[in-house]
A and B are shown apart, each in its own frame.
Chain A
């Protein structure tokens, strides 16, 4: 009988371990208050991983964290800079994640929320009665996936039009264009050519691999939607995409595709002092709010202005909005101090002083409407444009997907590799084929 009793004991131990494991697995990722670890009031040290690395950015984080420590003297935050999504994913998979994580890649929200890698914050938001209306609709959209809110916004980026005032004045143009027709007309007037017909100065660069001039940043300006009501890729069915590409191709053909690309190949790197807008080689460009700081540092004499990007002629009511994205922050599955981590996440994403400190020093847009209106926020006229774009109800972002931004890169490849060089043939057929390709990849990812 002894062996039987022994087997029974072993079975009971295994069952207990299995039940424990199952319970742990089931509770991981729920993210409710008291989900594990010490209470927020306990004395503890938590770890925050973020992607910022420049000295001014790291300093800004230290200042914001000092404010948090003042409010929560029992919680010490150890901030680790320069972390990316791959490291975050590895740490979560390895069971040793930091307590709070931050990512620059909003396209990965679908993966983070859908897989449960980042905890659903809804129970905590509900318990603490956090008013979600403080975040603009576009920001709420890029921090959740299929109703699961696993992230909150930590600073934002807004996109608008930069224009060279001197070059516009020389061309007799009174102000920045507000519609795509005006943009095309101004681009032609601003373009200067060399005697051999090559481009000397471009009014505007319409190839969709020119720095920030990429499909996702243009979609809100044309009211173009990536997916239809059935959740499938909608490029062929939504006439806004066809209108956008047709307008774009017409302008490219005016320049001459080869001439435009020869000009583009000789331009400097986007994030360097050789940026062609800063150098006066390109008169108008769509770019993010950070460029104001770069111009201040790298091109002090540049006489420029900022404005909302032009919109489609038949969608002029959208003027004032633009594309919005930003940094996201959340609590990973397996965080050992989840309650304290939530306090930090809540502070960094909703405390106006913290957001203003970060925004002023990192030169990003603060990600709440109250912070946007804060008198402490540094507001020069050029930067104010982006604050207005961020607050506009017409601003929009990309839909989250389970496979990162695969639908965007697939579309961008079609545009730059096939359509712009004139290899695509029939545009409608090309868009249908791209839809099929995107839907097939989405299905592969389990949708």
Chain B
């Protein structure tokens, strides 16, 4: 207790002291309630759209649940994962896309954005042209790409064959299906490209001038000025790219169905991942288990795995980028 406090305590009777403390408590409670009231929309949103679904997913992962009936399954769903060869294949395919497709998308988008910063005449037109593919619905873009790359009737392979170049079977070849999906994804990098463009245009010109005066060449300026300055945007692109790729579903599903020529079978479903399971991504297998085979409990296990992997990737990327920014 301070000297002033001791004096006040000496002068105020015990009853008044208690009233003061109660008033202080009420004030603190009111303050806390006010803070809570302001935070309430966020807390409610977090609880309803994140915490509850996450808790429910964990709960259902220990059950046998076909969306209508539910029974306790213990660790059966987790044990099944250890023997599920299709899940393993889906994990391999998805990781391939994360490791190959995301870096290529980021590098390509950054390259296009860098080029666009140099264009003076007609910059708006070029920016629009490179951004537009992003607005094409994924299903339409995928169908068109599969037709364009059809090994027998598609114009790409036909023209190449006339020029004496034999191109692969793209979406029909298990070894080329994922590269074909990656190639297709390069076409629609408009959103990241625009963000990179804005970040590149925001790099202070005086930094480049200072670096140039110090004798830095174009590559050194890019390495020591551009990259550190736009590193938060790079981090954003990498994290969102990884999360989007971990959820990669539509393009792979549509490409496999169109390439197989079988859109549907009366009375039955078709195996996912044509050809040879090469386009089977993790979310497709999750969907297959939850909504085609009615193993919602097991689908929840897969969802938890996806969540943990996404968190791990994000954590690793955050650490690496912070380290990179500090080094720079």
Partners in one complex: yes
| A contact set with B: CB distance below 8 Å | 86, 89, 92-93, 104-107, 111, 114-117, 142, 157, 209-212, 214, 216, 261-262, 264-271, 288, 325-326, 333, 398, 402-406, 408-410, 412-413, 416-417, 421, 437, 440-441, 444-446
Residue of B83, B153, B259, B293 with highest tally of chain A CB at under 10 A: B293
A441 to chain B: closest residue by CB:
B293
Which residues of chain B are near A106, meaning CB under 8 Å? 267-268
Interface of B (DSSP majority class): loop
Binary CB contact string for chain B from 178 to 200 against chain A (1 if under 8 A, 0 otherwise)? 00000000000000000000000
CB distance from B181 to the nearest CB of A (A): 17
Question: What is the distance, in angstroms, from A171's C-beta to the closest C-beta of chain B?
Answer: 24
A218, chain B: closest CB distance, angstroms = 13
Find out whether the CB atom of B64 lies under 8 angstroms from the CB atom of A211: no
Please tell me if B76 contacts chain A, counting CB pairs below 8 Å.
Answer: yes
A244 to B270, CA, bound (A): 20
Given contacts A417-B277, A440-B80, contact A404 B262 (CB under 8 A): no
Assess the B152–A266 pair: CB atoms within 8 A: yes
Given contact pairs A104-B266, A117-B68, A214-B265, enumerate 8 new A-B contacts (beta carbons under 8 Å).
A106-B268, A265-B151, A398-B268, A402-B66, A417-B275, A444-B298, A445-B66, A445-B295
The contact of A92 among B68, B258, B291, by CB within 8 Å, is: B68
B244 close to chain A: CB less than 8 A: no
Nearest residue (CB) in B for A436 is B83
The minimal Cβ–Cβ distance linking A415 to chain B, given in whole angstroms, is: 10
Number of cross-chain contacts by CB at 8 Å: 124
Q: Which of A116, A264, A269, A409 contacts B269 (CB 8 A)?
A: A409
Inter-chain contacts of A214 with B (CB < 8 A): 265, 268
| Given A271-B263, A403-B293, A444-B76, A107 and B276 contact (CB-CB distance below 8 Å) | no
- Say yes or no: is B260 at the interface (Cβ < 8 Å to chain A): yes
Q: Is the CB of A445 within 8 A of B293?
A: yes
Can you list 8 contacts pairing A with B, beta carbon distance less than 8 Å? A105-B267, A116-B69, A142-B267, A216-B268, A264-B261, A405-B268, A413-B271, A417-B275
Inter-chain CA distance A325–B264, complex, in Å, is 14
Complex contact B277–A413 (CB within 8 A) = yes
Q: Are B263 and A405 in contact (CB under 8 A)?
A: no
Interface residues on B, range: 35 or more
Bound complex: CA A444 to CA B76 (Å): 7
Known: A105-B267, A106-B267, A402-B66. Is A86-B291 also a contact (CB below 8 A)? yes
Q: A268-B261, A270-B263 are in contact. Are A115 and B68 (CB under 8 A)?
A: yes
Determine how close the nearest CB of chain A comes to the CB of B155; give it in whole angstroms: 13
Query: What residues on B are CB-neighbors of A211 within 8 Å?
Result: 261-262
Q: Once bound together, how far apart are the Cα atoms of A437 and B293, in whole Å? A: 14
**A92-B68, A93-B67 known; A266 vs B270 contact (CB < 8 Å):** no
Contacting pair A325 B267 (CB below 8 A):
yes
A417 touching B294 by the CB < 8 A rule?
Answer: no
A89: chain B residues at CB < 8 Å are 67
- Determine if A209 and B69 form an interchain contact, defined as CB atoms under 8 angstroms apart: no
Q: Which of B67, B261, B269 contacts A105 (CB 8 A)?
A: B269
Assess the B83–A440 pair: CB atoms within 8 A.
yes
Across-interface contacts of B76 in A (CB, < 8 A): 444
- Once the chains bind, are B294 and A445 in contact (CB under 8 Å)? yes
B267 partner, pick from A115, A267, A326, A445, beta carbons under 8 A? A326
Q: How far is the CA of A398 from the CA of B266 in the complex (A)?
A: 12
Q: Quick check: is B12 within 8 A (CB to CB) of the other chain? A: no
Chain A residues contacting B172 (CB-CB under 8 Å) are 261, 265
Whole-angstrom distance between the Cβ of B39 and the nearest chain A Cβ: 31
Interface assignment of B60: CB less than 8 Å from any CB of chain A? no
> In the assembled complex, which residues on chain B have CB atoms less than 8 Å from the CB atom of A409?
268-272
Across-interface contacts of A216 in B (CB, < 8 A):
268
Min C-beta distance of A251 to chain B, whole Å = 19
Docked CA distance A265–B83 (Å): 33
Return chain B residues, CB-CB under 8 Å to A270.
261-263
Residue pair A115, B274 in contact (C-beta under 8 Å)? no
Q: Find the A residue at minimum CB distance from B85.
A: A437
Given contacts A209-B260, A406-B293, contact A265 B152 (CB under 8 A): yes
With A86-B291, A265-B151 in contact, is A446–B67 under 8 Å at CB? no
Instruction: Report how far A398 CA is from B262 CA in the complex, Å.
Output: 20
Per the bound structure, the CA–CA distance linking A212 and B265 in Å amounts to 7
Contacting pair A107 B266 (CB below 8 A):
no
Closest chain A CB from B60 CB (angstroms): 13
Q: For window 32-84 of chain B, which residues contact chain A by CB distance below 8 Å?
A: 64, 66-69, 71, 76-77, 80, 83
Q: Is the CB of A446 within 8 A of B71?
A: yes
The 10 A-B residue pairs whose C-beta atoms are closest, nearest first, are A266-B152, A325-B267, A115-B68, A409-B271, A403-B293, A106-B267, A265-B172, A417-B276, A413-B271, A406-B293
Contacts of A421 in B (CB 8 A): 276
Smallest Cβ distance from B261 to chain A, in angstroms?
Answer: 6
> Given that A266-B152, A445-B295 are known contacts, is A105 also in contact with B268, CB under 8 Å in the complex?
yes
A444 adjacent to B151 (CB under 8 Å): no
Min CB distance A217 to B, Å, is: 9
Chain B nearest CB, measured from A92 CB (Å): 7
- Give CA–CA (A211, B266) in the complex, Å: 11
Nearest residue (CB) in A for B65 is A446
Contact B263 A111 (CB under 8 A): no
Q: Which residues of A contact B259 (CB under 8 A)?
A: 265
B220: Cβ under 8 A from any A Cβ: no
